[in-house]
Amino acid sequence: MMMYAFGLTANTVLNTFWAENSWIAEKLLTATWETMYMVLISTALSYLLGLPLGVILVTTEAGHVLENKWVNYILGVIVNATRSIPFIIFLILVIPFTRLVVGTPIGTVASMVPLTLAAIPFVARMVETSLKEIHWGLIEAAVSMGANAWQVISKVLIPEAMPSIILGVAITTINLVGYSAMAGIVGGGGLGTLAYYYGYQRYEDLIMWATVIVLILFVQCIQIAGDGMAARIINKRR
């Protein structure tokens, strides 16, 4: 009897809580979807440009297959310059460009412009680091067999560095989750906007904490997926 009464009360409390807060779940779901979509597309686009840029940074170095002092120097300066600008400032700096491309600086699609642009030089450096881990003898072996620059890149550099490149993708994606929250504050949508409007401006603690938990889960999933994929390749080769 007592147990039944307790169960009933608990049930009522839960029902009331759900009735009062179910809108949060809806908001959270939409915002999570927005963040996911924003981050994943930005990551993909940043690799589309950052991967070749990283390859060029490595291969134009002295003694490498596309040795070119000036290209290497100029690209290095551009990458460093872009990476020196804090993202929150970068966001504002590129607004005119965002407006030009998307038509508006507000919303999830618009956020992908600064996210992608900021990630490109980061990706280039990540790829550069991965490619430099490759034992020089492998590159020399390919060259001594008569491989051209493209063959060295596509048959040696990228496949050999693949596990490391994949881990780099996970790191980049996780970084972009953080950046996307900053974009959210200036109207970029996603979890950042949600946390800022409700959590910061309206003191809705529940939303703030829910957002944090979703972000933690999201980042965990990306890292586990990245580690898993890299490990699968490494194990296959062992």
Partner 1 sequence: MIEIKNLAKIYHTAHQDIVALDDVSLSINRGEIFGIIGLSGAGKSTLIRCINMLEKPTQGSIIVDGQDITALKQKELRAARQKIGIIFQQFNLLSSRTVFDNIMFPLEIAQVPAKAARDRVNQLLEMVGLVDKAKVYPDQLSGGQKQRVGIARALANDPKILLSDEATSALDPQTTRSILKLLKDINQQLNLTILLITHDMNVIKQICDRVAVINNSRIEEVGDVLSIFSNPGTPTSQSFIKAIINKDDPEEYKHDLLKEHGSKFSKLIRVSFIGASAGDPIISAMIKRFDVDANILHGNIDRVKDVPFGHLTLELIGSREGVHQSMQFLQNNGLDIEVL
Chain residues binding partner 1 by CB under 8 A are 135, 137-138, 140-148, 151, 155-156, 159-160, 162, 236-238
Please, which residue, 142 or 194, has the CB nearer to partner 1? Answer: 142
Minimal distance in Å, beta carbon 88 to partner 1?
40
Q: Where are the alpha helices (DSSP H) in the chain?
A: 2-59, 69-84, 87-93, 95-102, 108-132, 136-144, 149-152, 158-183, 190-194, 205-237
Please, which residue, 20 or 140, has the CB nearer to partner 1? Answer: 140
Please, which residue, 30 or 151, has the CB nearer to partner 1? Answer: 151
| Rounded Cα gap, residues 132 and 139, in angstroms | 11
Minimal distance in Å, beta carbon 158 to partner 1?
9
Minimal distance in Å, beta carbon 93 to partner 1?
40
The residue whose two tokens read 């038509």 is 103
Kindly state the DSSP code that residue 146 receives in the 8-state scheme.
T
Closest-CA residue to 125 (of 182, 234, 64, 47): 47
Please, which residue, 89 or 145, has the CB nearer to partner 1? Answer: 145
Minimal distance in Å, beta carbon 159 to partner 1?
4
